[in-house]
Amino acid sequence: MGKLLSIESGELEAKVDLDRTLLDTDLFLHTLLVLLAEQKKGIVPAQEFTRTETDFMDKSDGLRRYLFWKHMADLGFSEQQIWDLKRPLAARPLLYSDALRGLNYLNERCKKTQILTFGEKDYQGFKLACVPLLGQFATDAEIIDCRKNEAMNDVPPPNVLFDDNDISGELSLGSVMVCVNRHSHVPLVQHSERHFTIANLEPETLEQIL
Ligand SMILES: [Mg+2]
């Protein structure tokens, strides 16, 4: 089958989102809260999970920034106590099963492949530390505190963004958007020449595009 993207993949720089693209973030947070609940009675993981969206989401500048450490402090846990959970969290399958295969596929074909993640630097760093399977991809991840399209403007074109949030309308002409919809039952949808939706990061799916 021919490639759908009319760009040589070797010219492309690929950026791949972390939350809900590579990492099952909801599972990560739920697992963390369950581990904390085992230490401290009174925490109901389901309730606390809801509070991540209500009490600890900073939307002051139009972006959605989860104030993770504020939430943990509110529950009475120190940063050290949270970091102590790195090992048990790292033992859980918190990445989507295709995450590493997908990254490796992109890394073989693209000029450069890097994780691009938005949010509080220390929180993003903690999550990355909890997924050691990502190896160098985690070490080399770029953590930003601005809009993804602004960050993509700094990437030399042609470039491609893999993200569960479809921001195709905000990207510049030199960018390709690949929306990773983990809830889709259709493996690959092409919306236009430079806009795709895929259901997974399996190499078999990716190789249809690039
Ligand atoms: Mg995301």
What's the 19 CA to ligand 1 centre distance in angstroms?
Answer: 4
Domain boundary residue, one of 72, 90, 108: 90
What's the 22 CA to ligand 1 centre distance in angstroms?
Answer: 8
What's the 42 CA to ligand 1 centre distance in angstroms?
Answer: 30
pLDDT at 1 over 60: no
What pLDDT, in 10s, does the model give residues 139-191?
A: 999 999 999 999 999 999 999 999 999 999 999 999 999 999 999 999 999 99
What's the 132 CA to ligand 1 centre distance in angstroms?
Answer: 19
Q: Is 109 a domain residue?
A: yes
CATH number of the domain residue 190 falls in: 3.40.50.1000
pTM: 0.96
162, 201 Cβ separation under 8 angstroms: yes
Give yes or no: residues 41 and 99 share one domain.
Answer: no
Give yes or no: residues 73 and 166 share one domain.
Answer: no
205, 182 Cβ separation under 8 angstroms: no
Q: 145 vs 65, 128, 162, CA distance in Å?
A: 9, 16, 18
What pLDDT, in 10s, does the model give residues 16-70?
A: 999 999 999 999 999 999 999 999 888 999 999 999 999 999 998 889 999 999 9
Identify the three-state secondary structure at position 126: helix
Give the residue among 160, 159, 162, 161 at the shortest CA–CA distance from 199.
162
What's the 110 CA to ligand 1 centre distance in angstroms?
Answer: 21
Give yes or no: residues 188 and 125 share one domain.
Answer: yes
